[in-house]
Amino acid sequence: MGVKVTQSSLKCITSHNKTHTFHLFLLQFQPLYQTSPQLFVSRMVMKVAVIGAGISGLTSIKACLDEGLEPTCFESSHDIGGLWRLKEKPEPGRTNIYQSVVINSSKEIMAFSDFPPPAELPNNMHHSEVLQYMRLYAQAFKLLQHIQLQTAVVSVRQTLDYASTGQWEVETESKDGQRETRVFDAVIVCTGHFTHPHMPLKDFPGIESFEGRYFHSWHYRNSEGLQGKRVVVVGIGNSGGDIAVEISRVAEKVYLSSRSGAWVVSRVGQGGIPADLIGTSRMNLFMERLLPSWSNMMLEKKLNKAFDHKLYGLKPKHGFFAQMPLVNDDLPNRIISGRVQMKPNVKEFCGSSVVFVDGSVIDKVDVVVFATGYNYSFPFLPAALQAKCGYRLRLYKHVFPPALTKPTLAVVGFIRGFGAVNPLAEMQARWATRVFKGLATLPSEETMIKELEKDTVIMHQRFACTELNPIQVDYIPYLDSLAEEVGVRPNIPWLLLTDPRLALQLLTGPCTPYQYRLTGPGKWAGAREAILTQWERVLQPFRTRVVPEPESRPLSRRGIIVMVSGAALLCCFCYNKHLQGSLLSLQSFFRSLQ
Ligand SMILES: Cc1cc2nc3c(=O)[nH]c(=O)nc-3n(C[C@H](O)[C@H](O)[C@H](O)COP(=O)(O)OP(=O)(O)OC[C@H]3O[C@@H](n4cnc5c(N)ncnc54)[C@H](O)[C@@H]3O)c2cc1C
């Protein structure tokens, strides 16, 4: 069924609660609309298919509504939440987490830009609290009514008249196997990228005859059944680190094997506040840009001060900023207590023994956990849209396939950076919907290809990209560049003149997403307040016990003697200095007279 946009559906949209942007749009195009409403209507993108209802999908639905578009979100599972919904059993084709997962990025960094997380939620939320926050977001902006659960998208194809309409046929399959094809004016793909476990078994000779049990971290739920076992965890990504630590609490011993090593950062930063609130700031970015080697060195020095990465067998070849660090507060503890032992890459398996590349052998291994990452795939998309540039997908600014003659398909959330996914996905969705509507334009295909190729070269130079880690962006610069396209980049020099308190927060404080709601399309009146109160929300969850002030006690006689003697000594010292200074001035005065 083709989608024809009529004037009555236009009226329907203008009655939507977020009409202000749409009114602005109408005003902008008023002359065109008055002379040729038909032309206007046929140019407008109206119905948008959003695939997936995780963080990226929810924020994409909201971006559509904010722009007066009509989203229909297809979610293959029975609930929203994506990765953050703990599944009873691992569900093939979906992301899966273990029971103990807490977020690496703190809540203010991982916030949606116009929906600060409740103050009482902990800073590094448990996965159930992330899901709770997502549900609150979905309720607040009435997103649920746009989601069709238990409906998987099986194919997305251009319509026959795509060249003129830019439309897509989206084929879905419901839980009971019913297939349906609908036409949409645009599509946003939000299906995540931790879905297909990567098990490089061919790199591990002898695994086929290994006498123990082995599985991918995707299957891991908790340490049940691993009591007293000898376990090898292969891979030191965030999952590998978490799983090794958790199993080490019950196992006889855990061996954590890593080819590359990793920089380990704690969630708990200086003074106990979340470390990423200190690390993700414009001031830090400025220093990193101005003195990259120095910044890198200082950071590594600081990390080694907590514990020497070389001594602990963790030191990687790459510099700190080249790859996402391992966020783990417990690993050094488990290593120092001998519960986790660091090992190099596995060379081969032999019966129940594991041989490492340094020649060392661990015998009687019961279980091997392959925390070896994920492959991405978009099986429902046309093959041409899955072309690669280096390891990454060929997407302009990681969102738009440049080869499309009509920019009506966008990928949202397929991105990583030193920050959190919510602000990245949200900004991508805001940009995509503006492009769909024609309020933001893309450069020519040639320019986009040139830019993305240049971008890929820079990315490969700066970051340790691989098949499994295909994308990494500079967090704040990437957000700023998309914000520029949307017209919401904060003007800090101007704010320094007009609102210095706010400007200082933007410069020296954490780069929280509210700053992209201060101005421009989608401006939110609460953004300034959200920035100025963010530290309150950070401190609130710690206030669970009133800490008594130390009682003021009368000074003992001994105390009084110590204080008086101290004061006398200080006076002597100052007088002496003063006398010396005066003598020196007198000397120089007399010299000048000679
Ligand atoms: C252990 C772990 C910890 C992490 N911690 C953090 C963190 O602290 N901070 C952070 O920012 N990021 C973290 N991440 C990254 C994480 O991927 C993102 O936070 C986020 O979940 C990505 O959301 P998404 O919506 O893009 O994808 P997902 O959450 O994977 O959601 C995709 C949705 O699409 C649906 N879907 C898939 N295919 C189809 C189809 N064909 N049809 C219909 N529906 C479909 C799925 O069912 C799913 O609901 C972590 C990842 C892992 C694995």
Q: Which amino acid does the sequence have at 21? A: T
Task: Name residues whose C-beta falls within 8 Å of residue 8's C-beta, 6 or more positions apart in sequence.
Answer: none
Side-chain half-sphere exposure of 190, counting CA atoms within 13 A: 35
Q: Is the per-residue pLDDT at 236 higher than 50?
A: yes
| Overall CATH class of domain 201-372 | alpha beta
Q: Is 77 in the pocket of ligand 1 (CB under 6 A)?
A: yes
* 16-22 long-range Cβ contacts below 8 angstroms, 24+ apart: 16/65, 16/68, 18/65, 18/66, 18/68, 19/68, 21/66, 21/67, 21/68, 21/521, 21/522, 22/67, 22/68
Question: How is the chain split into domains, by residue range?
Answer: 47-195+376-542, 201-372
Q: With a 6 A CB cut-off, is 97 part of the ligand 1 pocket? A: yes
Q: How far is the CA of 122 from the centre of ligand 1 (A)?
A: 21
Number of H helices, E strands in the chain: 20, 22
Q: Locate tokens 């749009």: which residue? A: 25
Relative to the CA of 83, which ligand 1 atom is closest? 29
Q: Which of 83, 180, 218, 277 is the pocket-test mutation for ligand 1 (most atoms within 8 Å of CB)?
A: 83
Mean per-residue pLDDT over the chain, rounded: 87
- Mapping DSSP to helix (H, G, I), strand (E, B) and coil, where does residue 241 land? helix
- Provide the whole-model pTM: 0.85
DSSP-derived 3-state class of residue 443 = coil
Ligand 1 lined by 76 (C-beta under 6 Å): yes
How much of the chain, in percent, has pLDDT values that exceed 70? 88
Band of residue 549 on the pLDDT scale cut at 50, 70, 90: confident
Cβ contacts of residue 521 below 8 Å, gap of 6+? 21, 24, 430, 434, 439, 486, 487, 488
Give CA–CA dist 309/332, Å, rounded. Answer: 9
Which of 85, 95, 174 is the pocket-test mutation for ligand 1 (most atoms within 8 Å of CB)?
95
Q: Is residue 29's pLDDT more than 50?
A: no
How does residue 376 score in pLDDT terms, banded at 50, 70 and 90? confident
Q: Whose CA is nearest to atom 5 of ligand 1?
A: 103
Is there a common fold for 47-195+376-542 and 201-372? yes
| pLDDT one-digit tens code per residue, 311-351 | 999 999 888 888 888 999 999 999 999 999 999 999 999 99
For residue 293, what are its two tokens?
A: 């080697």
Question: Which secondary structure element, helix H or strand E, spans residue 277, and what is its range?
Answer: helix 275-279
Rounded distance, CA 366 to CA 247, Å?
13
Query: CATH top-level class for 47-195+376-542?
Result: alpha beta
